[in-house]
Homo-oligomer: A and B are copies of this chain.
């Protein structure tokens, strides 16, 4: 009798695992049970389908059960829920459309994913209150929105990935969208000053953003969701609410079988994606992953890790059962790299955020730089904000965040690669990246970020963060070295204004008595001014990290004087 691999869950991790298992071992039976009606679909695309960017629902279906059989001899059974694992007998108990049955396994791969959080808020069971995770969830929302009038008020509860994508999608459908986030910022994995760009972009598009407020009740009128009571007391009109406040790992099957959980509450696996039972592997949103920067464990419910973990789990389950077992693959961990599009903007992250690094007690340096995504003289150039979180004094890059209308994805991927490799900011200065005017500048935004952070770590330059200056404005003399036009368009209230090109002749006008914080639009002229002041007897100098643009949450300042060098 053939040996058998059973896969539980047929979306990202499970489908990858099954296909890889077949490629490694043609002699085993492979059966994949999926609780829902579909396998291997593009669940990350559902918000874009609801928003209309993806026109055809069929486009979301990547592979059918028939393809799995024809190509891989994988027996896919949708609408089959695995109820129980009997590890002693090595079998699963399955509820199918025709009743319950058991099936034995030689290796089991769990990829049961996650479940959207649905806290017991009064009224959450109302018909107009939806979550989005699966195709049926998406279908239900699509059906519901057909019943809404144009411009109906809708609320998105939770400002994470899915929340922001849904806010955009529902806005595109013509609804009057409000985003409600319990924390004081959107996109909690990002640092606050970066996430602020998402708030601004949403507001610019006419979406209301409510931060630091939660839902106390969903209330109906005439049997329909009518409004949302917020903890602040506000009543927010809403005909539809999308609750997207996070997902929990779906571990009940594993827990019932006595498999070990990790400290995060997700399933514990080793680098081979093996659970505490060596015959059972797991992958995807249900497991916890080692963060390569902090060596701590975390939950990363994202499709990229799920696919790569599935490949490893499938490989290892399959090679275990070969007549002559082959070497296992290892999954080395994650960086938490992610990206979200918010209308025109992309916001990317990799590695540790500043707040996580500080929470871990690491000695870090942070920098913010704005650079053009491609040569300023070539049409269509836009600004990218790069934030680095750097270990002191080594210069090793621990984390990065980027914001931009173009090329923010490219720079976060370069930085994710640099972090995985253990590179320092001094290496970033040396990166030999591809330059032609349509694609980058002779000094790429990543080079520039490395050079600025490198200058700081070489103690040639000190940065003060926006938060530090906001917290204690009176401790500093603030010096604005921008042009008159830029100053006139807006400046930090307490600042003194001396344009950089006049500074040499006006050193006597530089305020003294306190540490001096110099700023310009992005930091380039401030650096020049800072160095000049330092050479001319001024000490206790800072440059405002990210300059006026970060201060005022601007990405491309139309008033900015063109500069280089």
Contacts and interface: CB of A to CB of B under 8 A. Distances in A.
Given A26-B531, A417-B417, A527-B23, A341 B54 contact: no
A291 to B, nearest CB: 10
B54 A377 contact: yes
A16 B447 CA distance: 14
A336 interface: yes
Nearest to A402: B434
A240 interface: no
A410 B446 CA distance: 12
A337 B430 contact: no
A225 interface: no
A458 interface: yes
Given A308-B447, A504-B73, A413 B410 contact: yes
Interface stretch (A55-63, A94-102, A386-394, A485-493): A55-63
Interface string A69-97: 01111000000000000000000000000
B501 A565 contact: no
A535 B48 contact: no
A166 to B, nearest CB: 13
Interface stretch (A111-119, A251-259, A298-306): A298-306
A128 B111 CA distance: 68
Contact of A311 (B379, B416, B451): B451
Contacts of A416: 431-434
Interface stretch (A327-335, A354-362, A462-470): A327-335
Contact of A413 (B19, B331, B414, B438): B414
Interface in A415-434: 416-418, 420-423, 427, 429-434
Contacts of A444: 304, 413
A338 interface: yes
Given A71-B500, A71-B528, A432-B350, A308 B16 contact: no
A60 B431 CA distance: 25
A63 B410 contact: no
Contacts of A500: 71
B442 A375 contact: no
A348 to B, nearest CB: 5
Interface stretch (A37-45, A147-155, A216-224, A229-237): A37-45
Q: Which of A335, A350, A417, A439 has the most CB of B within 10 A?
A: A417
Contacts of A460: 24, 326
Nearest to A454: B329
Given A25-B535, A304-B432, A564-B40, A439 B377 contact: no
Contacts of A180: none
A366 interface: no
Interface string A357-376: 00000000000000000011
Contacts of A410: 407, 409-410, 413
Contacts of A422: 421
A378 B565 CA distance: 39
A201 to B, nearest CB: 15
B564 A378 contact: no
A536 interface: yes
A352 to B, nearest CB: 13
B339 A531 contact: no
A532 interface: yes
Contacts of A458: 327
Given A42-B377, A335-B432, 13 more contacts: A22-B528, A42-B375, A45-B375, A45-B377, A54-B379, A71-B525, A72-B565, A304-B435, A331-B430, A339-B435, A341-B439, A421-B421, A421-B422
5 contacts: A25-B535, A54-B378, A339-B434, A409-B410, A421-B423
